[in-house]
Structure formats: C-alpha cells, structure tokens
Amino acid sequence: MQNKFANKTVAIASISGALFLFIGTYLHPMDADPNDALAAFTEYADDHHWVASHLVQLLGVIFMVSSLLVLGTLFSNPSAIVLGKIGTGWAISVLALAGALQAVDGIALKAMVNVWASAQPPAQSSLFHATLGVRQIEIGLASITSLLTGLTILVFGVALLLDSIFPKWVGALAILSGIPTGIAGIIIGYTGFSELSMIVNMPASFLLLIWMFCIGILSWRRSA
C-alpha cells in the first residue's frame, strides 16, 4: 500500500512538474536575444505575464523535486539507495536555488525593467546599469541552478540504471538530459545567456521534460 501511494505521488508530481515547466516556458517571451540587454529589457518591460510565467516555472520545479524526493525512497538496490540519498540532497538544493532564481528573475528583474522603461532619459542610463546588475545576479543563479540540476538528474539516472524499478532506458534518458543540462550551466557561467548556452540548454530541457513525463507514466502504471 505504501509503495502504491508513493508511486502514485511520483506519477502526479512528475507529470504536473513537466506540464507546469512547459507552460511557464511557453509563456516566457523569447523573441529578443537574451544576451542583448537593451533588447531583452525592452521585451520584458512589455510582457504582462512575466511574473506569472516564472511562478508557474517555479511550481514546476517544486513538483519535479517532490517527485525525485519520493522516487529516491523506492530504490531497492544498495548502490541505488546510496545514490538516491545523494540525489535527494542535491534536489533540495536545486529547489532552493530555483526559488532564489525566480525571485531575482521573475520578480526583481521585472520590477527593475519596469522602473527603467518608465523613467525619463536623464535617469534611464543609471537605471539601465542597475537593472544590468540584477541581470548578472540572475546569470549567476541560472548557471549554478542548471549545473546542479544536471548533476542531480545524472545521479538519479545512474541509480535507475542500477535498480530494477524502471526499464534501463529510463536511466539512460536521465543521463542524456542531465549531462547537457550541467554543461549548459557551465557555459552560462562563462558566456551568460549566449547562443551557445541556448543551443545546449534548450534540447537538454526538452529531454528533461520527456524524462519526467515518462517517469510519471511508468509510476502510474506501477501504482495500478
């Protein structure tokens, strides 16, 4: 009965997390080059769903981390149990970082671009640089969040390969999404939201959503 409830919890949390992350990303404006501060800030100031889209993304991370915390309790292989405990600790750190990231990106940055956009020309220059400072904090948080997320998913992927809870391809898919997600975090740290970081991060994020959805479907079947 306990495993049935745990599997159902993993299923609901995984699918919900994937859906909320997809919706939040879909609502996020993506026309301007994120590494072009002037163009990006102008687009952000005009967006009326900015705060909502980032809160939805955070909700997605909350569900994703919740699914991982419960998933870590379902392993039976001794080595997988150890890796699950490590991954659980890292997942909690991911949630803390994601909360800080969305506070800076989803709320503070939006407030700053609104003030900058509505200011008169004499004050716009100093406000632009102040907003750019908030942007740099966002880049730092995004870099470490992506790196730790990738490492967390990688650890769970190895645990899934060692355990028999799911087919081996589920663990392989986690590794395939975790490695580029972590690499994207390193690239963001060096280059900001560059074209290269987006080229690496976007497919990795898509694979992560697919993996979470697969975890959800398979967990639901296990709970039946």
- pLDDT band (50, 70, 90) for residue 2: low
What's the average model confidence in pLDDT over 165-184?
A: 96
Neighbours of 134 (CB within 10 A): 17
Question: How many CA within 13 A on the CB side of residue 58?
Answer: 18
Q: Given a cut of 80, is residue 205 above it in pLDDT? A: yes
The number of distinct structural domains making up the chain is 1
What's the average model confidence in pLDDT over 199-210?
A: 95
What's the average model confidence in pLDDT over 155-161?
A: 98
**189: Cβ contacts below 8 Å, ≥ 6 apart:** 139, 140, 143, 144, 147
Output the average pLDDT for the chain: 94
Alpha carbon dihedral 192, 195, 199, 202, in 10-degree steps, equals 60
pLDDT digits (tens, 9 = 90+) for 65-98: 999 999 999 999 999 999 999 999 999 999 999 9
User: Residues 8, 213, 182, 139: is their CA dihedral positive or negative?
Assistant: negative
Q: Given a cut of 70, is residue 209 above it in pLDDT? A: yes
- pLDDT band (50, 70, 90) for residue 123: confident
Structure tokens of 223? 């709970």
Q: Given a cut of 60, is residue 38 above it in pLDDT? A: yes
Task: Tell me the residue range of the domain where 198 lies.
Answer: 2-223
